[in-house]
Amino acid sequence: MRPRGTITSRSPGSYRIRYSLGLDPVSGKRRYGTATIRGSRKQAERELVRLLRSVDTGEHVDPSRITVAEWLTLWVDTVRTEVSPKTHERYAEIVRCYLLPAIGGIRLQRLTPTDIQRGYNGFDRKPSPRTRRHIHRILKSALARAVEQQALTRNPADAIKRLPKVEREPITALTVDQTKRLLREIAHTTTYWPTLLAVATGMRRGEILALRWKNVDLDAGVVRVIGSLEQTKAGLRFKSTKTEKARAVTLPKFAVEELKGWKRLQAERLLKVGVRQSGSILVCCREDGEPKQPESLTHEFTYLVGRIMDFPRVRFHDLRHSHATQLLGSGVHPKIVQERLGHSTIAVTMDLYSHVSETMQSDATARLDRAYQ
């Protein structure tokens, strides 16, 4: 019987596998696939067995024939279980809108850094520098998986070193007086409560909408942030926080008093629709107790801010920046600010709010002057 595969040594630690793909249904001729394995001969033998098994089960993909589009599509399906649904949606969008039109028709094993650069230069939709970097990270990750699975011997995306510089947008933060005015202007709306929590705690939008009464201790004045609400095309889902760590955030007295009143009012409103308030009820929810869509909160907030005369056009996320800036500006230690915001390290906090540190240095210098005078 003719052997279905052979292994040939190319150089020390490198082997070439040639294996049968069966008969071509059109020509009737036998087809062969090839693969290069870096490692020991035992590893090459195991890979040959795996490839022949995949041919027998119909799962085989010939790496010498597969296109970049086919590989990227396979990669997007594979990472579905490895990342969050929101992240997967973004990966799929980047692949569909940018990578497939640019380089999808090229054979995977023939893809070169020049092909990638030419594809980047010819995007029909010109992405921002930040998106351009994100596109490259996704392609690099997908091709790295191809190298791991020995569909490629090297990652051509590694050769692309120069990417557009991302200019950091200046942070928009409200002053204390502006924040007080904002709260007064929207006090009659349901958007007031998530806004209050944002300016009083610095919590993220998703964290606020996932907060339940059982995680709010109004007697101690502490909120435990343990999860977040995410909106995807498939619907809403609760997940862990961005850093996957729970944290405790103390509430200022004015927020405690406001929330006590809101808890009583919310209980009355829920009873009218047949829902009894309990610890599992969300602090900021719809009138029927169901979760509120994060994007709906953003739209409502933007609309309300737009109706305030002579007021900065801030986003809901800017309330988080305002909380941090106001704390740092009043002399609160950056480590405390980091813990309240839930940043992974204090370096992240100081990098984001470096504009405040300049003011802090001026204050420190002034204190030294007073001490030595």
Examine residue 208 and state whether it is found in any structural domain, yes or no.
yes
pLDDT tens sequence across 44-75 = 888 888 888 877 876 666 666 789 999 999 89
pLDDT tens sequence across 203-256 = 999 999 999 999 999 999 999 999 999 998 889 999 988 888 899 999 999 999
Examine residue 289 and state whether it is found in any structural domain, yes or no.
yes
Of 34, 57, 80, the position where a domain reaches its end is 57
- Dihedral sign of CA atoms 241, 318, 232, 81 in order: negative
Examine residue 368 and state whether it is found in any structural domain, yes or no.
no
Backbone angles phi, psi at 338, to 5 degrees: -60, -45
* 85-94 and 68-78 helices, crossing angle to 10°: 170
> What is d(CA 300, CA 291) in angstroms, rounded to the nearest whole number?
15
Instruction: Specify whether the CB–CB gap between 86 and 232 falls below 8 A.
Output: yes
Residue 308 corresponds to which tokens in the numbers above? 């305030």
pLDDT tens sequence across 294-308 = 999 999 999 999 999
> What is d(CA 236, CA 231) in angstroms, rounded to the nearest whole number?
5
Examine residue 185 and state whether it is found in any structural domain, yes or no.
yes
Which of the four pLDDT bands, split at 50, 70 and 90, describes residue 364? Answer: low
Report how many domains make up the chain: 3
Examine residue 238 and state whether it is found in any structural domain, yes or no.
yes
Report the CATH number at residue 149.
1.10.150.130
Question: Does the pLDDT at position 357 exceed 80?
Answer: no
- State whether 140 and 48 are in the same domain: no
Of 294, 311, 328, the position where a domain reaches its end is 311
Instruction: Specify whether the CB–CB gap between 19 and 33 falls below 8 A.
Output: yes
H or E segment at 10? strand 5-11
Examine residue 321 and state whether it is found in any structural domain, yes or no.
no
- State whether 28 and 119 are in the same domain: no
pLDDT tens sequence across 72-107 = 998 998 888 888 899 999 999 999 999 999 999 999
Examine residue 367 and state whether it is found in any structural domain, yes or no.
no
Instruction: Specify whether the CB–CB gap between 297 and 193 falls below 8 A.
Output: no
Instruction: Specify whether the CB–CB gap between 215 and 207 falls below 8 A.
Output: no
pLDDT tens sequence across 139-160 = 999 999 888 877 788 899 999 9
Work out the average pLDDT over 312-321. Answer: 95
- State whether 79 and 184 are in the same domain: no
- State whether 204 and 263 are in the same domain: yes
Report the CATH number at residue 192.
1.10.443.10
pTM (predicted TM-score): 0.76
- State whether 151 and 199 are in the same domain: no
Examine residue 348 and state whether it is found in any structural domain, yes or no.
no
Pairing of strands 14-23, 228-232: unpaired
Instruction: Specify whether the CB–CB gap between 31 and 18 falls below 8 A.
Output: no
Full residue range of the structural domain in which residue 99 is found: 68-159
Q: What is the pLDDT of residue 321?
A: 93
Averaged confidence pLDDT in the chain: 89
- State whether 282 and 206 are in the same domain: yes
* 113-121 and 129-148 helices, crossing angle to 10°: 150
